[in-house]
Amino acid sequence: MTLTKKGVVYLVIAYSFIGLSLILKESALTAFVIPTALLLLISSHVSRPPELKVTRRIYPQRSFGDEDIDVRVEVNNNSNRTVNELDLEDQIPESLTMGVGTRTLTTYLRPHEQVEFSYRISAPRRGSYALGPILLRRSDFMQFHEYKGELPVRDELTVMPKIEKLGPIALRARRVGQWPGLVPSRRTGSGTEFFESRPYALGDELRRINWKASAKAGVLITNAYEGEQVTDVLVVVDGSEGTLSRVFDFDVAEFELSLAASLCSQLINQGNRVGLSVYSAVRTWVDPGFGKRQLLRLLNGLAVASPGRASIPLQYAVESVIVSMVAAKSVVVFISPLMDDQIVRVMTNLATRGYEIMCFTPATVVDLAGMAESEILARRILAVERRIKMAEVAEVARLIEFSPRLDIKQELRRWKPRQRA
């Protein structure tokens, strides 16, 4: 319990009147002290507030960006006594912008009464935000004394990267799983692509018999189709380059994460076992897995990723993670600006080990107008270096360029996986 500034001011006023009345020998001035003294007397005590039950509700609980978040805080007085002059303030990180509503509530609560307040957070950016605790201030009637405390109500607001529907992604892997999927398995199965013709065996479906070939051969010939199964896919996001904004004309780091989210979503929907590795200031990885829960894990991993220069070398960090997380001959999808010298080496090494590699890289279209001669030269050198790296990558991986101006769906449709010998 502390005396507030207001309490001190009232005391000073009271003593000023006493002092003035003594100095001026004017007893009438003391009359002004009586109300002040009475108020100080009445408001001389404040007790700790009783147990309050506070609940914070967040709508929607999972956000994919570009939408406002509504927060509602309910306060219940579960005790049998009235709580007067209660101030509550919900704490939110500074990086969040408040929309309409109020984060503070000044109220009184009768026994077992409930009150609520709500506010809106304006479309937060991708990330994870801690909401709470709630600051509590209980004062006496005139607010001369106050008790300050905290209600430990903490919630996490996760804004995931925006997901775009990409349509089917054609993958090819040397290693496939047992479950049916969309990845050609190089084995006969129940797919749609013709694989081989072979003599009829007991149990073959009649509709699979190739009547023309059977007539020519004199024995029954059956068409066999290539089975399509799932595979293991690891999405690797290289968000280590801290100076990307100077090289590209859009926020590459955010775009990379958003693309990774879309790819993860599509690959999971295709039934694959998908994992994630983000190489940046804060390294994040999610072990491969199937299903919707795995997608949530992947999106959470992308939500908390913060782009920036990493402290450990890319080759060590990425290669070791990939090798430990997915078996050889699986698919590795790189999303990288190809700025690091080691990235090409990593991809070459992985290709040698039998991994099927896809690489998404941002397209460089920079407006050079208004730039100094030296800057233009530097950018041109950088662009040439990147072109060389892209050419090297294209030898071992499928390369797809992306930018906000390019339709990634169309690029993916146009793209066909390499046919192996």
70 binds another protein (CB under 8 A): yes
40 binds another protein (CB under 8 A): yes
The separation between the first and the last C-alpha atoms of the chain, rounded to the nearest angstrom, is: 81
Among 5, 23, 28, 324, binds another protein (CB under 8 A): 28
Answer whether 145's CB lies under 8 Å from 42's CB: no
Size of the site for another protein (CB under 8 A): 50
Q: How far is the CB of 99 from another protein (least distance, A)?
A: 8
- Positions in 129-148 near another protein (CB under 8 A): 141-145
Among 56, 72, 162, 174, binds another protein (CB under 8 A): 72
* Geometric angle at alpha carbon 130, from 250 and 132, rounded to 5°: 140
102 binds another protein (CB under 8 A): yes
22 or 376: CB nearest another protein: 22
Q: How far is the CB of 121 from another protein (least distance, A)?
A: 12
38 binds another protein (CB under 8 A): yes
31 binds another protein (CB under 8 A): yes
44 or 410: CB nearest another protein: 44
72 or 174: CB nearest another protein: 72
- In 3D space, the residue among 332, 320, 227 whose CA is nearest the CA of residue 273 turns out to be 332
Q: How far is the CB of 96 from another protein (least distance, A)?
A: 16
| DSSP H or E segment with residue 99 | strand 97-101
Q: How far is the CB of 28 from another protein (least distance, A)?
A: 5
Secondary structure class of 119 (helix, strand, coil): strand
- In 3D space, the residue among 120, 118, 117, 116 whose CA is nearest the CA of residue 98 turns out to be 120
Q: How far is the CB of 122 from another protein (least distance, A)?
A: 12
Residues in CB range of 352: below 8 A, 6 or more apart: none
58 binds another protein (CB under 8 A): no
Answer whether 208's CB lies under 8 Å from 222's CB: yes
* Geometric angle at alpha carbon 340, from 337 and 373, rounded to 5°: 75
11 or 351: CB nearest another protein: 11
- In 3D space, the residue among 115, 102, 109 whose CA is nearest the CA of residue 75 turns out to be 115
Residues in CB range of 331: below 8 A, 6 or more apart: 171, 173, 183, 231, 232, 233, 234, 272, 355, 356, 357, 358
Range list of H helices, 308-366: 314-325, 342-352
Query: Near another protein by CB under 8 A, which window of 118-126, 154-162, 375-383, 385-393?
Result: 118-126
Among 26, 150, 341, 395, binds another protein (CB under 8 A): 26
Footprint of another protein (CB under 8 A)? 1, 3, 7, 11, 14-15, 18, 21, 24, 26-35, 37-42, 44-45, 70, 72, 87, 99-102, 104-108, 115-120, 141-145
